């Protein structure tokens, strides 16, 4: 677990003690020092200029509805969230397989609340992989092209979106590109009471940046139906149901299966660090049905050092 800072100190080459070596050796020694400093500066600059690490327009933020204000307050407050530009978490991930077996691995998660983006990376036995989801666009990079997805009962794209959704749920309620409808009465699920908050997408055609096509169709979401379940007591978003009734299911447990209905649960919210927001210290992803009832567990993530 770590928070990646947005600002860094300027890189300076300080006075280096002169080693007691010959002239040629001194030259190579100083050259190596120079290389190390330059590489360090480039790494700092790369982090600082990360295109996903955007800051929110605080003046334009509008908190609509008690569900939004409650979710933000329960996880640290809107002011604290505005300071969360980029956050990193390390987790132990369990992918459950048929017959009771499972695959255990470690993954690094970097999420960017205000650009609605996430990066997931891991060093697997076959090679290192890197997944990124931003602006609804998913990118998968594998150093050797040998990542075995048979350990996953859902697609890597769905997996990234689901993890991002539960980690940044309070900020999503500030997204002006979508709408939200809160149910007037709570429902009982898993022994607790929740308000259902459904995400809605614009149905009307939207303006296009293409001069030749002034009117374009709204972006098609990966999951057309998304419902957040907000605990009536704590105001925490503890479950999210993601559904696509039109999607074909490639099989009950096949590799990269395109599940129609999924449910994610977040447990035991804790601060990422002293001055940060609260996020779930444990996440579970389940197969669900068209009534948002939980079926078998597919994935478990236990974040470390929270």
Q: Alpha helix (H) ranges present in the chain?
A: 23-48, 66-74, 78-82, 156-167, 169-172
User: Which residues share a beta bridge with 272?
Assistant: none
Tell me if 53 sits within 8 A of 165, measured CB to CB. Answer: no
User: Which residues share a beta bridge with 121?
Assistant: 108, 130
Are residues 76 and 39 part of one domain? no
Are residues 100 and 248 part of one domain? yes
pLDDT in tens, 39-69: 444 344 334 457 899 999 999 999 989 999 9
Q: Per-residue pLDDT for 8 more than 70?
A: no
pLDDT at residue 147 in the model: 57
Q: Provide the domain limits for residue 95.
A: 58-118+152-303
Are residues 43 and 93 part of one domain? no
Are residues 43 and 85 part of one domain? no
Reported as a pLDDT band with limits 50, 70 and 90, residue 218 is low
299 part of a folded domain:
yes
CATH number for the domain harbouring residue 231:
2.50.20
Q: Which position has the token pair 């999210």?
A: 240
CB within 8 Å of 17: residues ≥ 6 apart: none
Q: DSSP characters for 13-82?
A: ----PPPSS-HHHHHHHHHHHHHHHHHHHHHHHHHHT-TT-PPP-GGG----SHHHHHHHHHTT-HHHHH
The total number of structural domains in the chain stands at 2
132 part of a folded domain:
no
CB atoms within 10 A of CB 31: 10
Are residues 158 and 30 part of one domain? no
141 part of a folded domain:
no
76 part of a folded domain:
yes
Are residues 90 and 219 part of one domain? yes
pLDDT at residue 74 in the model: 98
296 part of a folded domain:
yes
Q: Which position has the token pair 């105001």?
A: 235
168 part of a folded domain:
yes
């Amino acid at each position: 677990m770590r928070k990646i800072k947005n600002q860094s100190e300027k890189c300076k080459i300080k006075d280096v003690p002169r080693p007691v070596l010959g002239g040629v050796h001194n030259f190579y020694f100083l050259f190596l020092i120079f290389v190390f400093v330059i590489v360090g500066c480039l790494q700092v600059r790369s982090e600082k200029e990360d295109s996903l690490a955007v800051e929110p327009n605080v003046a334009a933020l509008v908190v609509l509805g008690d569900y939004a204000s409650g979710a933000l307050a329960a996880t640290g407050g809107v002011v604290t969230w505005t300071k969360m530009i980029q956050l990193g978490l390390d987790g132990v991930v369990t992918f459950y397989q048929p017959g009771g077996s499972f695959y255990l691995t470690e993954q690094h998660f970097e999420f960017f609340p205000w650009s609605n983006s996430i990066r997931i990376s891991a060093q697997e036995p076959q090679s290192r992989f890197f997944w990124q989801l931003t602006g609804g666009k998913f990118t998968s990079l594998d150093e050797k092209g040998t990542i075995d997805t048979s350990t996953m009962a859902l697609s890597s794209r769905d997996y990234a979106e689901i993890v991002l959704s539960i980690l940044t749920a309070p900020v999503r309620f500030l997204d002006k590109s979508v709408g939200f409808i809160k149910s007037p009465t709570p429902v009982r699920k898993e022994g607790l009471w929740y308000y259902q908050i459904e995400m809605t997408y614009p149905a009307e055609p939207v303006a296009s940046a293409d001069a030749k096509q002034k009117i374009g169709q709204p972006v098609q979401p990966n999951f057309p139906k998304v419902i957040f379940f907000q605990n009536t007591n704590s105001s925490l978003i503890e479950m999210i149901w993601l559904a696509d009734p039109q999607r074909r299911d490639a099989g009950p447990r096949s590799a990269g299966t395109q599940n129609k209905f999924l449910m994610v649960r977040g447990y035991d919210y804790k601060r990422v660090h002293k001055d940060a927001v609260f996020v779930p210290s444990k996440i579970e992803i389940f197969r669900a049905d068209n009534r948002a009832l939980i079926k078998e567990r597919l994935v478990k993530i236990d974040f470390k050092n929270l």
